[in-house]
Structure 1
Amino acid sequence: MRPTTRLLWLSLTALILTGLMLPVANGNTGLLVLPWTVLGLLVLVDLVLSFGRVPRLKIDGPEQLFCNETGRYELVFERALPDQLTLRFDWPEGLTGPSAISPDAGVSPVPIEVRAKARGSWRFSTTWLNWPSRLGFFEFVPQARNALKITVMPDIRPVLNGEIDLAVQTSLMGQKNTFQEGEGSEFHQLREYVPGESLRRIDWKRSARQRKLLAKETRAERNHSVIVALDNGYLMREEIAGLPKIDHAINAALAVAWAAAAGGDQVGLFTYDSRPRIWHPPEPGRQGFPRMRRILGELAYESRESNHTLALATLKGQLKRRSLVIVFSDFVDTTTAELMVEQAGHMAREHLVIFIALRDPETEALAAAPVVSLADAAESVAAADFVRERRIVFERLNRLGVMCLDVEPQALTPRLVSMYLDLKAREAA
């Protein structure tokens, strides 16, 4: 509780009246304290009328959210809301919502939308209630404590809604796998030859035994190794499209891990920052996906500089067979990317490597923005140089045999899953 401007002005008025009455009071203290007595009575009446108006707050809503998901919560008040009530919120690092709302008097529950922007377990915002007393002499500002904790997890909605399963089954089990040449090397079945098909499909020995032309059907080979390598250095903490880059990478990594699991491949996990951190050898995806999801959900945000040389050399030494290695990382310029490019090139000699970096649409917009001042010119030139140096790095990686994916965050998951399915269908890995 704190005094309002109204009470301060009334106190100043009482002080002025007391000063004006000093020459005529002639030692009559009762006359001098009269303004203060009236003010004290008004204050007492205000407190009595306002007593018992403190609303009790309870919060209803989901206790779990996916990264970048917006959840709807309800603030339930067990008592009638006082007039002119304002709710102010102090949000933790991983959650965001309105800074303040003013619900209508008597309306309960009060809806509020909360967006999850970082993984972890976060206590719902500290809520401050703010309303004036009946006569406006005081302002009540109690803090409403609540026990609701919200767990923010990696976004696996593409897995839960079946989009990835449908894409995998369509790609690997549908007509495309049956009629296009070069779709697989694993024998599936024999069937009668259809005129017009490639003669290379004919199994001549079995055709001679059966005395009719028989064609071989093949499908994509399974049991490949897919390694997800996550750079968790400080550059991956930069926020793009409302989430840190590492969270976009984790969401896409889980999506491609599920696609690999549906396609019958084995999935491994490798994380690093200043040194290698987590290494889980490849295992069947259906069994390893829950563990991978838990590990990535608990992955801390780091502020260390990434050591690509040590990390990629360590990963290369762990791999015993040819694998598809998907590296999520970031860089600032050609100088900082030098060692990363060199190590990725070495790994690409023995493995199939996909290098993924997130494109910042704001930087590209800044490079293409019209220039109207010297400050705009400086920003545009700096942004253009940054974009140009990124392209140089990607060109060097392509020349070394590394496939690159430079996309905006919203396109990362579909593009990566599509690339994986295309490589699997062609058996490039």
Structure 2
Amino acid sequence: MIYPSGRAVWAAAAGAVPAFLVALALPSFWYLGLLWSCLLLAFLAVDAAAGRGRASLNASIDAPQQVGVGGEFGMQITARHSGPRAAEARVGHDARLAPVSGSGGALQPTAGGGSLNLRFQALRRGVASFDRLWVRWRGPFGLVWNQVVLPVESKIAVLPDVSSARGEAITLLQHATLAEGHAQRRAGQGREFDALKDYQPGMGRRMIDWKRSARHGKLLAREFRIEENNNIVLAIDSGRLMCEPVDGVPKVDRAVTAALLSAFIALKGGDMVSLFGFDARPRVSSGAVRGPANFAMIQKRAAEIDYSSEETNFTLALTTLAARLDRRSLVIIFTDFVDPISAELMLRTVSRLTERHLVLFMLMKDTELEGLADMPPRSGEDVARAVVAGGLLRERQVVIGRLRLLGAHVIEADHNRLGPALVERYLQFKQEDLL
């Protein structure tokens, strides 16, 4: 794309005044006023022809692969070309990113091209992208701009900041390890065989290995330990209800933060973790991974769980999830519901899921409804709001009660305590050997 620069516009405006005066003073020689315009057009043509070099232009973007919500990061634009030297660049980005000091500027000359350093701030969780790059340069006379729009593909995973809650979770894990470090290896705990030891008075008879005892001529007992390769599935609902804000942050973001926190602890504990995101249909599904080194992959897949305005289809999502599980798993579902009618299909699907798997529902307390229900009745409208809010809270408790009757575990925690509450329950499940 070629278009005139500001210098060409001012030159054309400056030549218009003498041309008007010539036409006014010498009407018969009015065509002399066109000499400046013709001369300017000639310079524009020469400038446009000399400034070409789009075929040799190559540009790239260097940006980090992931960044935390609210964090700033730097990115570099590098252009390599053989023709133009002084060039400008501007990058296109989505709404998840905001430029700190502009999204473009002049390229600093380097060997064979130029570079530009910019800073952006990550505003919202998700997968942000730089989708295109504009590069322009002037001709030798500075009268025209030669502009090229280059498609680029640079994605950045904007992740929630779990550093503050991670310290608390690690503290809980350390306390559980110190308190149960010996108990986890105690005879009779767990289902995974660990070792043989001499039978001691007080041990249960079921622990005696009769075949090996007969072979060695003395009583030997089997020692078990809690399994460390349990399968943990983090299922996150990103439907319409989960996109409502709680204290200024969408519920799905708080759910993702809690899920990442529990994934970090589970991977540290030797369990296998997989991520599953859904709304009207399954959206994100990661394979089961093991080991702390794979936590970065779980973070990147969590960034792909986007906001949705569609109603959640629990039947399709949970049926699909159950079909993919080939062993008993702990299925942790982060979701929300309003009343028993909207949750009826979910309850039917959960009843089939709990037959084989251990299901845990993570819910956030509806502080807004609780505040309306406890509001002092200063007027008739306050009384009406309190009655409606109280009714909705009672219907919510009805759904929670039905979930527990179906065999599912339910945690209804404050939004600021969702992650630590989940870690505590996960450690409790391991201690009680329910996984």
Shift of 1:406: 1.2
Give the Cα–Cα distance (whole angstroms) in 2 for the partners of residues 65 and 95 of structure 1.
Answer: 11
Runs of 4+ aligned structure 1 residues displaced above 6 Å come to 92-96, 114-117
Q: Deviations over 1:175-200 (max 9, x none)?
A: 23134x65311122334555555455
> Match for residue 324 of structure 1?
330
Q: Deviations over 1:319-357 (max 9, x none)?
A: 222211111111121111111111111111121111122
> Match for residue 289 of structure 2?
283
1:175 corresponds to which letter in structure 2? H
- In the TM superposition, 1:16-415 aligns within 5 A as 66-67=68-69, 118=125, 152-157=158-163, 161=167, 163-164=169-170, 167=173, 170=177, 174-179=181-186, 182-193=188-199, 195-198=201-204, 200-203=206-209, 206=212, 214-415=220-421
CA gap 1:193/1:349 in 2 versus in 1, 3 angstroms: same
1:300 corresponds to which letter in structure 2? D
Give the Cα–Cα distance (whole angstroms) in 2 for the partners of residues 400 and 211 of structure 1.
Answer: 49
CA gap 1:174/1:340 in 2 versus in 1, 3 angstroms: same
Asked if the contact 2:234–2:331 (Cα under 8 Å) also holds between the matched residues in 1, the reply is yes
SS of the residue aligned with 1:428?
coil
Structure 2 unaligned segments of length 5 or more: list them: 1-64, 73-93, 99-120, 131-155
CA gap 1:300/1:203 in 2 versus in 1, 3 angstroms: same
Give the Cα–Cα distance (whole angstroms) in 1 for the partners of residues 362 and 325 of structure 2.
Answer: 20
SS of the residue aligned with 2:428?
helix
Shift of 1:364: 1.4
Q: Deviations over 1:245-269 (max 9, x none)?
A: 1011101111111222122221112
SS of the residue aligned with 1:177?
helix
Give the Cα–Cα distance (whole angstroms) in 1 for the partners of residues 178 and 407 of structure 2.
Answer: 25
> Match for residue 51 of structure 1?
none
1:170 corresponds to which letter in structure 2? T
Shift of 1:297: 2.1
Give the Cα–Cα distance (whole angstroms) in 2 for the partners of residues 166 and 391 of structure 1.
Answer: 29
Structure 1 unaligned segments of length 5 or more: list them: 1-62, 72-91, 97-113, 124-149
SS of the residue aligned with 1:304?
coil
Shift of 1:166: 6.3
SS of the residue aligned with 2:235?
strand
2:183 corresponds to which letter in structure 1? K
Q: Deviations over 1:144-176 (max 9, x none)?
A: xxxxxx985223226754843861670797123
Tell me whether 193-202 or 324-333 shows the greater mean CA deviation. Answer: 193-202
CA gap 1:230/1:276 in 2 versus in 1, 3 angstroms: same
Asked if the contact 1:117–1:242 (Cα under 8 Å) also holds between the matched residues in 2, the reply is no
Asked if the contact 1:313–1:343 (Cα under 8 Å) also holds between the matched residues in 2, the reply is yes
Asked if the contact 1:325–1:352 (Cα under 8 Å) also holds between the matched residues in 2, the reply is yes
Q: Deviations over 1:13-64 (max 9, x none)?
A: xxxxxxxxxxxxxxxxxxxxxxxxxxxxxxxxxxxxxxxxxxxxxxxxxx98
Shift of 1:315: 1.2
Asked if the contact 2:192–2:224 (Cα under 8 Å) also holds between the matched residues in 1, the reply is yes
Tell me whether 181-190 or 380-389 shows the greater mean CA deviation. Answer: 181-190
SS of the residue aligned with 2:284?
strand
Asked if the contact 1:119–1:154 (Cα under 8 Å) also holds between the matched residues in 2, the reply is no
Give the Cα–Cα distance (whole angstroms) in 2 for the partners of residues 156 and 279 of structure 1.
Answer: 21
- In the TM superposition, 1:4-19 aligns within 5 A as none
Give the Cα–Cα distance (whole angstroms) in 1 for the partners of residues 173 and 428 of structure 2.
Answer: 11
2:372 corresponds to which letter in structure 1? L
Give the Cα–Cα distance (whole angstroms) in 1 for the partners of residues 316 and 395 of structure 2.
Answer: 24
Give the Cα–Cα distance (whole angstroms) in 1 for the partners of residues 193 and 239 of structure 2.
Answer: 44
SS of the residue aligned with 1:281?
coil
CA gap 1:360/1:65 in 2 versus in 1, 3 angstroms: farther
Indicate the percent of aligned positions where both proteins have the same amino acid. Answer: 40
Give the Cα–Cα distance (whole angstroms) in 2 for the partners of residues 393 and 380 of structure 1.
Answer: 20
Asked if the contact 2:339–2:392 (Cα under 8 Å) also holds between the matched residues in 1, the reply is yes
SS of the residue aligned with 2:190?
coil
Give the Cα–Cα distance (whole angstroms) in 2 for the partners of residues 318 and 118 of structure 1.
Answer: 27
2:384 corresponds to which letter in structure 1? A
Give the Cα–Cα distance (whole angstroms) in 2 for the partners of residues 172 and 266 of structure 1.
Answer: 23
> Match for residue 80 of structure 1?
none
Compare the two structures and name the one with the higher strand fraction: 2
1:357 corresponds to which letter in structure 2? L
2:173 corresponds to which letter in structure 1? A
> Match for residue 23 of structure 1?
none
Give the Cα–Cα distance (whole angstroms) in 2 for the partners of residues 162 and 384 of structure 1.
Answer: 34
Asked if the contact 2:188–2:223 (Cα under 8 Å) also holds between the matched residues in 1, the reply is no
How many corresponding residue pairs?
304
